[in-house]
Structure 1
Amino acid sequence: MNEQIPHDKSLDNSLALMREGYLFIGNRVDRYQSDLFEARLLGQKVICMSGEEAAKVFYDPERFQKNGAVPKRVQKTLFGVGAIQTMDGEAHIRRKLLFMSLMTPPHQKRLAELAMEQWQASISKWEGAEKVVLFDEAKNILCRIACHWAGVPLEESEVKERADDFSAMVDAFGAVGPRHWKGRRARTRAEEWIRGIIEDVRTGKLKAEEGSALYSMAFHRELDGNQLDSQMAAVELINILRPIVAIATFITFTALALHEHPECKEKLHSDNSNDLEMFVQEVRRYYPFGPFLGARVRKDFIWNQCEFKEGMLVLLDVYGTNHDSRLWENPNEFQPERFKEWSGLFDFIPQGGGNPTLGHRCPGEGITVEVMKASLDFLVNKIEFDVPDQDLSYSLVKMPTLPESGFVMSNIRRK
């Protein structure tokens, strides 16, 4: 079996994966000079692959399916059990259209406006503060606007707790031990909370605005004509709210990029939305977010002299593809201008590859970009601040990762 492709020599790579994090696949791609290799993870044979051509194959629904690819431990923290990320075929497309309908350009614009309003409203509070941790502020603001936009009632007194729970689910993705269990407890609490709201909407105790995410999830019908049960509706509504809160990570890296590349600031002072766009896209390419994605082989096929057997788990290297020197000139340098002409679907995959309408690329990508642009505009054009001494390093071993200090700002003043 697969004598043509390199096999990683160790009996099981699970420990190496924990030790190497984002670089696990890339290190071996370099070592074997091959875009794909076979390894063993948690006792099963896995094919790992990297690069644009690999991404095209990985996103071919004839060859791969998501069902069975997301480990239960990740379903129990990040996505929820039985969520859209684990579906395929017609059922997946129908539910995906529901998500897409909530993430159209007008929705993206609305969320960006809400973000800017919230950022602006924070200034007076920050001006008197000795220091502000951007990551903590961002997750609270994003939780507030996500719930407001979705129509989910949220008391100001519970914002921090709910934001922390959404963050804990994301943080548990690559974790074992305490971080994993914290994520599981957070999910249980969030599901219980949202399930209660869905049930209140269905019984008429709570009125949801037609067209809102809450209304759409509460009354969505599947292919068989049935409504989602309240648990599944809660899971999927969380799959809309949680990724919005997760943009806090990208916003923190955006601030770090501004700090590390002050030469970019001049361009961002203009009203040119294009410069903001190029900058945030480069933040999404350059800094680590998702390390890799998994899928299972739908039916036997051969690609690049490698036999892909039905049911086998395959991992696509997200971080490595976004840093592939064949696709990106000087990939380890931060250069927003590279996005001037960019128009690919499989070379740039921070939130998945391919077409979001039909495949598994994240439908919320437009929301991420617009909210990041509003936040960047705020940091550059609406406030001035100092960056005191702090640990701004981030680990490529911890998945997901973040600058250690969460990006501390001091002496904040309105422009």
Structure 2
Amino acid sequence: MERSLEQATMRRVAWRLIPFICLLYFIAFIDRVNIGFAALTMNKDLGFSASVFGFGAGVFFFGYFLFEVPSNIILDRVGARLWIARVMITWGLISGAFAFIQGEMSFYGLRFLLGAAEAGFFPGIILYLGYWFPIRYRAAVVSLFMAAAPVSVLLGSPLSSLLLELEGLLGLHGWQWMFLIEAVPAVILGFVVLVYLTDRPESATWLADDQRAWLMSEMEAERAGRRVQARHNLLSGLTDLRVLALALVYFGTSAGLYTLGIWAPQIIKGLGLSTMNVGLLNAVPPTIAVVAMILWARHSDRTGERMWHVVIACLAASLGLMLAGAAASVVAVIAALSLVNVGISAAKPPFWAMPTLFLSGPGAAVGIATINAIGNLGGFVGPWMIGWIKDRTGSFAGGLMFVAGLLLISAILTLVVARAGRRAAPARVALP
């Protein structure tokens, strides 16, 4: 009886929350990386070098870094519904303002503001999912949520390419139309969040009474189990060595992710293809990655293993970047980028199941935000170094090798952290 109640409850929660949250992240990721497609024509129109573009694309993560932890603390206190709505509306408005970039400083300024506006969204969602899904479901649920990132590239690539074809309409460049049109969904969905999301299980009127009672009991038992292990407050979530080490692991995966999102269109364009063909080919790697991510996360949940699922995925992504740097044909480049996509995407869900094994309460809010904030600085370092090295060598190869090295370090650190922290990690929650 209890098993059937669990299944019915989790199915109801998953169908209520996951599709909508995936849609939000889909829009977030498009607004975050559509700068990579804008660059196909914007850089020439505004006279941006590879170094200028790489720095501006990456400066997003300084704003993200500075406001990440405060944003997640506020979300934990005021509720996900109100705060995620605020995040989406402000980032949508700023994203649309990119249509009016005039030069380097306005480019840098808007990218910084976009990062500040979006800070808290991703770790806030990770924290929010922790309110609703027991740990044994966590990696699979996170994989479904994070599948929105490669899906956004899959669908957003041809869309962005198509919008670039609006060049000259009403006196605007195609990249200006792209920013304006792709910003609208974030603002609209921000208002939808206010009426759709439920902050906590105890407020879920859309659950039956017995389902709500079971879920509240399950999540409280899980929180109590973590409290037995350690008392986590704001300071512990910020200073726990495992949190800081995982932040460095995430640094490498973020460098890889945003190298793809920001530079892949230009890498493919360098093979002499049209803008539309670039959009279509750029959609191939994330298509493969979506399937690989979900299967890998389910295997991680089924086996209860996290460490090797992160390590193997990081090594695969590192190898893919090395191969991409040496590839000379369209087929070879797309195959290498597919391997990178698979590795980066597959590493994320088991990785994000790791911090919730030893953090709870306010410490979880701060710890997750700290990992995401520091880790996402890799999103600055990776793209910036790609542009800096390209300006000096005329090739993407050196920058790709640099990011591959960061992912190799991530794999090694994961091994060190997991093995050092086994004694401190709480026992897995038994299946009912």
After TM superposition, is the score higher than 0.5? no
> 1 or 2, which has the higher helix percentage?
2
Identify the structure with the greater strand proportion: 1
TM-score by length of structure 2 reads 0.29
| TM-score normalised to structure 1 length | 0.30
